A and B are shown apart, each in its own frame.
Chain A
Amino acid sequence: GQQLNQSPQSMFIQEGEDVSMNCTSSSIFNTWLWYKQDPGEGPVLLIALYKAGELTSNGRLTAQFGITRKDSFLNISASIPSDVGIYFCAGRSVLYNQGGKLIFGQGTELSVKP
Chain B
Amino acid sequence: DTAVSQTPKYLVTQMGNDKSIKCEQNLGHDTMYWYKQDSKKFLKIMFSYNNKELIINETVPNRFSPKSPDKAHLNLHINSLELGDSAVYFCASSPKQTSSYNSPLHFGNGTRLTVT
- The interface of chain A, by Cβ under 8 A from chain B, is 30-31, 33, 35, 37, 40-45, 48, 50, 86, 88, 90, 92, 97-104, 106-107, 109
Q: Which residues of B contact A103 (CB under 8 A)?
A: 45
Contact of A104 among B42, B48, B56, B102 (CB under 8 A): B42
**A33→B45 contact, CB < 8 A:** no
**A88→B55 contact, CB < 8 A:** no
Q: How far is the CA of A87 from the CA of B99 in the complex (A)?
A: 27
Q: How far is the CA of A104 from the CA of B33 in the complex (A)?
A: 14
Q: Which residues of A contact B103 (CB under 8 A)?
A: 48, 100
**A33→B107 contact, CB < 8 A:** no
**A42→B102 contact, CB < 8 A:** no
- The interface of chain B, by Cβ under 8 A from chain A, is 4, 31, 33, 40-45, 48, 50, 55-56, 90, 92, 94, 97, 99, 102-110
25 contacts between A and B (CB under 8 A): A40-B110, A41-B109, A42-B4, A42-B110, A43-B43, A43-B90, A43-B107, A44-B107, A45-B104, A45-B105, A48-B103, A48-B104, A90-B105, A97-B97, A98-B55, A98-B56, A100-B48, A100-B97, A100-B103, A100-B105, A101-B56, A103-B45, A104-B43, A106-B40, A106-B41
> Taking each of A45, A86, A99, which has the highest tally of chain B beta carbons within 10 Å of its own beta carbon?
A99
Q: How far is the CA of A31 from the CA of B21 in the complex (A)?
A: 29
**What 11 new A-B contacts, CB under 8 Å, besides A42-B4, A100-B48, A100-B103?**
A33-B104, A33-B105, A42-B90, A88-B43, A97-B97, A98-B55, A99-B56, A100-B97, A100-B105, A106-B40, A106-B41
Q: Which residues of A contact B92 (CB under 8 A)?
A: 42
Q: Which residues of B contact A99 (CB under 8 A)?
A: 31, 48, 50, 55-56, 97
**B42→A106 contact, CB < 8 A:** yes
Q: Which residues of A contact B41 (CB under 8 A)?
A: 37, 86, 106-107, 109
Q: How far is the CA of A101 from the CA of B105 in the complex (A)?
A: 10
Chain A to chain B: the 4 pairs with minimum beta-carbon distance, closest first = A100-B97, A99-B55, A42-B107, A104-B43
